A and B are shown apart, each in its own frame.
Chain A
Amino acid sequence: MNWSWDVVSDFMPLFWDGVLVTLQALALGTLIAFSLGLVWAIAQRSRFAFVRWPVSAITEFIRNTPLLVQLFFLYFVVPEWGPSMSALTTGIVGLGLHYSTYTAEVYRSGIGGVPVGQWEAATALSLPRVRTWTAVILPQAIRRVVPALGNYVIAMLKDSPMIAVIGALEMLGEARSFSNATFTSEAYTIVGIAFLVIAYPASLLIRALERRLALTS
């Protein structure tokens, strides 16, 4: 195998562009997944069936279709009758939406794990519903599920190359286009290492967080 540092240094500017896209997609995708997932989870506990039903249908649908299909759909089909977004924005929305259906399940189990006595105490004190959620239930529920949420961030990182198919060139997308154009392969190695460099410390962080939460609860 030939390894050329010249190729590597040629790739570097593109690589950093790709890193930026990956990190943007990851950060904003996580933001969407975490907040939208919470909305799904709370909506699924609504008193009203007309809220619960559509939310269950949407999340089941999204969870049971491939991310790749969803990305194509968002990028090519949605603009025909709705807003058209840049490739990167579409990628972020797609990742966030897809993973929100998984984080919803995580939140749901966290919320379900809060003892029923907590709801009863909130009722006995007549705490308003919103306050019950924000001050009593969610702080306890989220604490339980931080490690599980963290795992989905890493899963999302590993799925992030999919957004390249609609033209949002993240690390792997940049590597692919560079390598195809130059008939080289070094870029793939660099990107592989880059994924590890991002993901491994992240999973260590999650494990540390998990230990810490276990100790203090």
Chain B
Amino acid sequence: MTNDTSRANGAELVRFDKVTKRFGEVTVLDELDFSVATNKHVTLIGPSGSGKTTILRLLMTLLKPDEGTITVDGELLTHEQKNGKLVRAGERHTREVRKKIGMVFQQFNLFPNMKVQRNVMEAPVHVLGLDKDEAAQRAKDLIELVGLTEHLDKYPSQLSGGQQQRVAIARALAMRPQVLLLDEVTSALDPELVAGVLDVLSDIAHSTDITMICVTHEMSFARDISDRVLMFDKGKIVESGSPEKIFSDPEHDRTREFLSTVL
């Protein structure tokens, strides 16, 4: 196992080693090996229930793997060394490694009791320890980036779904994560609001060096931003390759079958 901690382009930023996740009797991920290099944008596609979202949730530590290890930026996320032994990561260790990861959810999950700007400032102030002015400025810049400057002082409930999702993107970016996880971020949106969110993400993908792991059903978006597309089925990677390859000339029947249902 390589533990290359350099963040040069091409270095491994996220790595799953023989990760297994079961829900009761159902094995959602089956000894999955998979890695994402720094600065790359990887899209996971596949039928629902194939384990794509589970991968994101394991990375965000919302779930714990039953077996296997996950490494982020050269550090174990799921485990830590204690007295020379590898044990399940404790709260403190998890917290440290997790700061490198940000996530945008299908249901936005903005804090409804906070105005837009405070949603974005909350974690930089209380997790990174930024002073209020600095965090406020960072929030303003990011809210401008997602095109919502005039909504700084509104509550999430006063915004459309698409606007809320853009705030959620700003909120995740405010932590300056190395990896951004996008979990079906347009699935809960009315069709006419999807484009605005995807445009923002596409801008971010093309203009920053953030690493992205994306689960989506928007195939044209996947084609636009991805360096690599992974086709999942039944907890395993069926096929992986450049978007051109996967979308135009897939090798596996399973991939072809899936794409014919969504394209």
Contact = CB atoms under 8 A, between A and B. Distances in A.
Interface of A: 115, 117-118, 120-121, 123-128, 131, 135-136, 139-140, 143, 217
B105 A121 contact: yes
Contacts of B139: none
Interface in B46-73: 60-62
The binding surface of chain B is classed by DSSP as: loop
Nearest to B91: A129
A201 to B, nearest CB: 28
Contact of B109 (A120, A126, A128, A135): A120
B102 A128 contact: no
A58 B60 CA distance: 37
A126 B95 contact: yes
B143 interface: no
B122 A127 contact: yes
Identify the 7 closest CB pairs spanning chains A and B, nearest first: A125-B123, A121-B109, A117-B109, A124-B103, A139-B113, A131-B126, A126-B127
Contacts of B61: 123
B107 interface: yes
Given A121-B111, A125-B123, A139-B113, 8 more contacts: A117-B107, A118-B109, A123-B60, A123-B62, A124-B101, A126-B175, A127-B127, A140-B112
Contacts of B62: 120, 123-124
Interface string B105-127: 10101111110000000110011
A115 B109 CA distance: 9
Contacts of B126: 127-128, 131, 135
A117 B105 contact: yes
Contacts of A128: 126-127
B98 interface: yes
B107 A135 contact: no
A126 B105 contact: no
23 contacts: A115-B107, A117-B107, A118-B111, A120-B105, A121-B111, A124-B60, A124-B62, A124-B102, A124-B103, A125-B171, A125-B172, A125-B175, A126-B95, A126-B99, A127-B123, A127-B126, A127-B127, A128-B126, A128-B127, A135-B111, A135-B126, A136-B113, A143-B113
A121 B120 CA distance: 12
B220 to A, nearest CB: 27
A189 B3 CA distance: 83
Contacts of B101: 124
A9 B157 CA distance: 56
Interface in B107-165: 107, 109-114, 122-123, 126-127, 157
